[in-house]
Amino acid sequence: MILTEKQRRYFGTDGIRGRVGDGSITPEFVLKLGWAIGQVLAKGNNSRVLIGKDTRISGYMFESALQAGLSAAGVDIYLLGPMPTPAIAYLTRTFHAQAGIVISASHNPYQDNGIKFFSGKGTKLPDSVELEIEAMMDMPLTTVDSSLLGKAHRVEDAGGRYIEFCKSTVTSKLDLSDFKLVLDCANGATYHVAPNVFRELGAEVIEMGVEPNGLNINQNCGSTEPRLLQAAVLKHQADLGIALDGDGDRLIMVDQRGELVDGDELLFIIARAQQRTGQGNAEIVGTQMSNLGLEQALKQFDMTLHRSKVGDRYVIEKLKETGGIVGGESSGHIICLDKTTTGDGIIAALQVVAEMKGTGSSLHELHSVITKYPQTLINVKVDAITDLAANDKITSAVEEVEKKLGSDGRVLLRPSGTEPVIRVMVEGRDATQTTRFANDLADIIKENI
């Protein structure tokens, strides 16, 4: 299967992202972007927009630029400081704001940054609104009369509000006093909230990645670099490990044996928990990257996996389309629509821990139900994204591999939404075969683009 992406000038899969100082990630651009957001999302007087950020050093600069642009548009600004992305979605709703803005590059290193947006309902923006913002960027920046300029306010209790919200997503009877867990906050936005959530529920928490300095976000830690967490779980003989990413919307876990538990396995555990307690339904949403093993495991329990495009906002769209409640990505974006409006690493972790307590099972026992298929993923750098489906040599090569794999495998070619990269994924029963096929397809792409 070959996927194509609608080309937009600025927006990628999840907002606008890039290297600080390049392209769209400059103070000048972000100032104009703040103004454009004010024009599109916060029309009229008495409008308010929330701004939160992760811990990377450039967040200070872009926070100020957004403030200036929003103020020029006559919009009041509420500053949350370092807060997880899902916290900003939640607080945007509770403040009855017109929009929420997140300054973050998620799991990327500190050299990158980005801008993400939530509507007043705490949901990701649809494509049509993103295109409207892009069109507004072409208009001349105007400033409202001085009497109408937006004012800035700092929200001092944002962390406490979000901690209580996270705890409210599990039963008040949940007691984790017999749990020892290692928690890796990636030196990111969850460093001051996630440990308190689990401690207030009674758990013994061993902290990692809670000393951000503006430059160490996601550096050898967090959901994309869980090796040190695996070692720490074994060293401390913990019941589990929890790894969040820099902005707190991704989750990877580690069982008591030091084995990784990825987004597909976490999605299965939460789906089964909801089925067991009668809170969910049979419609589960993954993405084109979700492992075939997840699909087959769900089928054993009379649940259906629906696949969306990659990106948590597309998972949410598919959930609403199918009437599902739980969805997620292999990377660890897990969405529980009965709890919140977007992917939330802390809330997803709480649901898994609650299922461990509810069943008396270890994390290893819960995730071992899935037998995952070998999956090879190769990123092929290209000068520019082109229409792969229009290239006969590439399409015929894909068809040939799909024919050889049959019903026990899949091929997916997907342009990245954030960088000039083609992602080549081959999945099948035989690891050696999938690796060979993926490398062959990668070579063909390099030769023909």
pLDDT of residue 418: 62
Cα(340)–Cα(102) distance, integer angstroms: 17
pLDDT of residue 105: 96
Cα(384)–Cα(398) distance, integer angstroms: 20
Nearest residue to 212 (alpha-carbon basis) of 193, 238, 234: 193
* Residue 429 CA: distances (Å) to CA of 53, 253, 306, 333: 42, 25, 21, 25
Cα(420)–Cα(281) distance, integer angstroms: 38
Pick the CATH number of 375-448 from 3.30.310.50, 3.40.50.920, 3.40.50.300, 2.40.10.10: 3.30.310.50
Residue range 16-156 in CATH 3.40.120.10:
yes
Reported as type and span, the H/E element at residue 76 is strand 76-82
Residues of the chain with pLDDT under 70: 2-8, 44-45, 417-418
pLDDT of residue 11: 87
* Per annotation, catalytic residue among 47, 104, 106, 330: 106
Buried b (16+ CB within 10 A) or exposed e, 33-44: bbbbbbbbbbee
What CATH superfamily classification does 162-367 receive? Alpha-D-Glucose-1,6-Bisphosphate, subunit A, domain 3 (3.40.120.10)
Nearest residue to 413 (alpha-carbon basis) of 402, 429, 403, 405: 402
Would you kindly state where each structural domain of the chain is located, as residue ranges? 16-156, 162-367, 375-448
Q: Which two tokens stand for residue 326?
A: 């739980």
Cα(410)–Cα(324) distance, integer angstroms: 24
pLDDT of residue 46: 72
Q: Is residue 202 within 8 Å of residue 175, measured between CB atoms? A: yes
Residue 290 annotated to the active site: no
Do 16-156 and 375-448 agree at the fold level?
no
pLDDT of residue 106: 94
Predicted TM-score (pTM) above 0.85 = yes
pLDDT of residue 134: 94
